Amino acid sequence: MICKSIKIKTFRNIKEASIEFSDGVNVIKGLNAQGKTNLLEAINLISTGRPFRRATDADLIMHGEQQAEVELAYKTRSFSSSVRYVIDRTKGKTLYKRKQEQKKISHVFGYFRTVLFCPAHLSIVQDGPAVRRAWIDMFLSQTYFFYLKQLQSYNKLLQQRNALLKEMRSSLQPQDFYRSFSLSERFPESTVALLETFSLQLADASAKISDLRYKHLCRIAPILDSFYERITADYPLKEKIELRYVSNAYANGIETFDPDAYRAVMETPDEVMTSPREMAIREKYLSLFKTYAIREIRSGTSGFGCHRDEIEIYLNGTEARTFASQGQQRTIALAMKLAEGQLAYEMTDDHPVFLLDDILSELDEKRKAFVLGELKGCQVIITSCETIDRQVIDASPSVRVIRAENGAFTVEK
């Protein structure tokens, strides 16, 4: 996969830019706040359909302007294409593929693939569960459009159900918080029915999402372990990484990867999302919603569902989040990103474009050399505010250095 060129207009601090990329390593260098990360964000927007920092589409439009525009031309092993993404403050977004306006966004996303690695990802092991779920969700959303849709409808549904639970909470009597009551004596039939409908839909969506996340972990776990092993090859002790998917829908809370379960999961095609495992999870959620309805109403929030799932990372049998050293945690984070790229390669027969935002200066010499070695043969776009070291220049026969200054970009080499 190659990002051939990009044209940008009034996107964040970039007034106008037109950049041709090298097939190898591209270094975007410049002082702070010049627009380096903004450029990566524009590239990533075309692969994921959304900004990567907690931002809305409108935040991407340059202050005082009406529209932002990004047009990216890319090439895969089998075809070339271009996507134009226009965001208007009043009209919202419009998408074009090869100049043709597209109504179905599923026709636009999922073809041009990136792996984004920024300093925030280095704490993926010690941060809360949301960032580890996001690691999976981002991959699956780029791989399967139906997953992205499912996730979006899940979030909407969760908001609706939480709003209903809050509303129900507000009509409780003080004694309802410690004394038991039945739903039918406190709430109108229509309210109880609506809660049931939401619960059913949430159980359904949770089961689908959780099943596919589990399957993804089955695929990525051995790749992750092997990257970790290679990065730490010169360590005296061999360290083994395991992943666990933890959910309140599992009988004992945890599902690990026993080979039989693994085989059964892998034999179900991804698009057929009604595996026996999925059905069992759905049933479990339904029974949890039934059993704990009053508790959920008292707290005014949904206590169960795949938004509560956790991906635990174990290093030699102990949880890395609590027991691994900072160095080990960062190595795991690095292995997670490389594994993401490798799995994308295995599934699509094409390397994704790697976007490294200020990451090389965060790594020591050994890890830096490992990353650059691994990414030989891939297109890499790196931002850096430091002088570019020899290692990077030597990493590829085709290095392009692009200077960022106040939202403008010029090729230096």
Element (H, E) at 71: strand 67-75
* List 16, 18, 20, 33, residue binding ligand ADP (CB under 6 A): 33
Q: How far apart are CA 335 and CA 312, in angstroms?
A: 15
Say whether residue 232 binds ligand ADP (CB under 6 A): no
Say whether residue 37 binds Mg ion (CB under 5 A): yes
Say whether residue 63 binds ligand ADP (CB under 6 A): yes
CB nearer to ligand ADP: give 27 or 61: 61
Q: Give the phi and the psi of residue 264 in degrees, each rounded to 5.
A: -60, -40
The one segment of 25-33, 259-267, 307-315, 395-403 that binds ligand ADP by CB under 6 A: 25-33
* List 34, 48, 143, 379, residue binding ligand ADP (CB under 6 A): 34
- Range 149-188, binding ligand ADP (CB under 6 A): none
Q: Give the phi and the psi of residue 260 in degrees, each rounded to 5.
A: -70, -45
> What is the number of other CB atoms lying within 10 angstroms of the CB of residue 273?
18
Joined together, the tokens standing for residue 111 give 């073809």
Please state the closest distance from residue 383 (CB atom) to ligand ADP, in A.
Answer: 6
* List 32, 175, 190, 387, residue binding ligand ADP (CB under 6 A): 32
Say whether residue 37 binds ligand ADP (CB under 6 A): yes
Say whether residue 12 binds ligand ADP (CB under 6 A): yes
Please state the closest distance from residue 38 (CB atom) to ligand ADP, in A.
Answer: 4
Q: Please, which residues have CB within 8 angstroms of residue 296's CB and are 6 or more apart in sequence?
A: 165, 289, 302, 303
CB nearer to Mg ion: give 37 or 114: 37
Residue 12 binds which one of Mg ion, ligand ADP, none, with CB within 5 to 8 A depending on kind? ligand ADP
Q: How far apart are CA 42 and CA 407, in angstroms?
A: 12
Please state the closest distance from residue 37 (CB atom) to ligand ADP, in A.
Answer: 3
Q: Please, which residues have CB within 8 angstroms of residue 120's CB and are 6 or more apart in sequence?
A: 131
CB nearer to ligand ADP: give 32 or 387: 32
Q: Please, which residues have CB within 8 angstroms of residue 280's CB and are 6 or more apart in sequence?
A: none
Q: How far apart are CA 216 and CA 307, in angstroms?
A: 17
Question: 59 to each of 11, 64, 240, 249, how far by Cα in Å?
Answer: 9, 11, 42, 37
- Range 364-393, binding ligand ADP (CB under 6 A): 383
Q: Whose CB is nearest to Mg ion?
A: 37
Q: How far apart are CA 193 and CA 332, in angstroms?
A: 46
The one segment of 61-69, 184-192, 245-253, 334-342 that binds ligand ADP by CB under 6 A: 61-69
Question: Are 154 and 205 a contacting pair, CB within 8 Å?
Answer: yes
Residue 32 binds which one of Mg ion, ligand ADP, none, with CB within 5 to 8 A depending on kind? ligand ADP
Please state the closest distance from residue 58 (CB atom) to ligand ADP, in A.
Answer: 9
Interface residues with ligand ADP (CB under 6 A) are 12-13, 30, 32-38, 59, 61-63, 383, 404
